[in-house]
A and B are shown apart, each in its own frame.
Chain A
């Protein structure tokens, strides 16, 4: 699974629903896996298939089943995307399906953090930009946007671009492949000094 992101141009799958929670992105029945793979078929499964069963009949009007959005690798979603459960299976499922980015007016905190650790870029935009993108996709499903992480710009259909905010450290990690765990491990001397100065009040092995 690639954990890098620089620049991506592509079409969008519109999901104009607010407060899409991570239970919808990947239902709990998929959480019994012990690795990160194999979750793509569970992505939005309750909205995507009759009775939520990936072996069953696809629900024709759900965005991921519409042929005009079959190649979309950017999800254009409603406000507060990814709320609810902390399950990192949600970005794993989105990435497993092939999504590279999600555009929304806002993201839940834990989802945002999880997504950026998995090479899935979250692109916050204003309500006006969001509305114009939904309109553009409705008019032409093949409408493309360009996300440039280095410049922090979203290139809009019909020309023009808008800037977006992204956590500078997450951006650096995505651009140059900095490994967050490695970054933390390099702080071992500071962690050791902290522990020496702050003896623990707890030993979980004591009960």
Chain B
């Protein structure tokens, strides 16, 4: 039996001696929940293997296997699952249905496990999957229950699973607290990518990152799904390019959910996509902060992005013209197009900032009309 599901798997007998190796695809919700997963599985005694950073092969594998209408991040997920083939016993593929009260996650997240299973049906190079549902809408159906199910499927004793849960929760809480200090999320995540057992990042280092904001440098909010903006391949290294220009980047990850909710409380209707709410709340909150510009990174074909991006743009324009740039990214996005827009956007901000001084030095104006 190649494909495992909640109902079919019975690894208890199979793996009584050694704990299984768990694969984690470096895609989609990975960028939000890695600490939770990694600390949980490692507390159970499992080894955790993460798929490599997105590269051309992963992209090609994903695009080839995925359904046509999926967005690029979902297509990449296939590639990341496949990249773990032969390296792990199971790939952890949670089915995210609802991760917070009264919200849903994008329907494609719900379909991901089944989409990948279908692909695996046609391609024997896919690893076995460990699928659990995450559904806050059911009583006790959140992450805790999902991980308990995962642990149970792997044949661990309830007491061991409880300890694992504690470790996972602790790790995730630490991670989120760290994010809210404004630390670069990629750096916070890097600790968890390197080693599982929480290495507590101490104050000074986090402080150093903050200090990287050169006085007088630009501060730009980059808003987009973490799986877009923190994936260097997909985002064409957008964050790296901004940092190379001396820009300090703030993302919606730095905005606590409560703060985001307050920023959107005046809207006529609540957004029911939890990730969309995170981006909208983050944007509206950051627009009230002293930022020089806002870049919205949308995934081509993403329904929530097409709406959230539009709302953010309108608010950016209302909030006394915070310069706004929308970058829509898919697998065909050329680096030249992104570079041109980015350079022009930075020019726009810089020139706007130094408007008066430039006017003085601008060479005398003389011209004609045709």
Answer yes or no: do A and B interact: no
